Amino acid sequence: MASDNLTVTITTPQKEWIFNNVISCSAPGVEGGFQILVNHASLMSQLEIGLIKLGNQEREQFFATSGGFLEVSENKISLLLETCEIASEIDIERAESSAERARKRLKERPDDVDIVRAQLSLQRALNRIRVAHKLEVTTQ
């Protein structure tokens, strides 16, 4: 089915977004980042913590995700994500505070701390900060 654009649906437990007229979607696959353009072959992929970028003729939108799944079929992209925040809504102070707490846990390593959980918390916080700053760089 030939088309000039993609329709992207992002679904999380809290919210759903639908974007029409998208011409490219970049996502953080577990085996590396990838990009989907119009008329891409059908695909299903697991996603990890990282940046999702949607682009069209007018602008790019950036999102921070903690992972999930992506499916492409007939110019429709469905993202089913654990979490997703649009860059313009990321609270940078909160993300920096979360990163600092995780760093402290990893440095002190008290007996009751789950190290893997602290590492993942740090990765998510740093990703949110990076995505928020990506928006600042592209809008200046």
In a domain, residue 43? The reply is yes
Provide the domain limits for residue 112: 91-139
Residues 73/80, Cβ–Cβ less than 8 Å: no
Strands 76-81 and 6-11, by their bridges, are parallel
Tokens of 64: 């921070």
CATH number at residue 81: 2.60.15.10
The residue among 133, 79, 122, 83 whose CA lies nearest residue 100 is 122
The least confident of 46-50, 67-71, 93-97, 116-120 is: 116-120
Q: How many other C-beta atoms lie within 10 A of the C-beta of residue 4?
A: 9
Residues 57, 33 share a domain: yes
In a domain, residue 1? The reply is no
Q: What are phi and psi of 118, to 5 degrees?
A: -65, -40
Q: Tell me: the pLDDT tens digits for 62-86?
A: 999 999 999 999 999 999 999 999 9
In a domain, residue 50? The reply is yes
- Of the candidates 87, 106, 127, which is a domain's last residue? 87
In a domain, residue 112? The reply is yes
Domain total for the chain? 2
- Of the candidates 87, 111, 126, which is a domain's last residue? 87
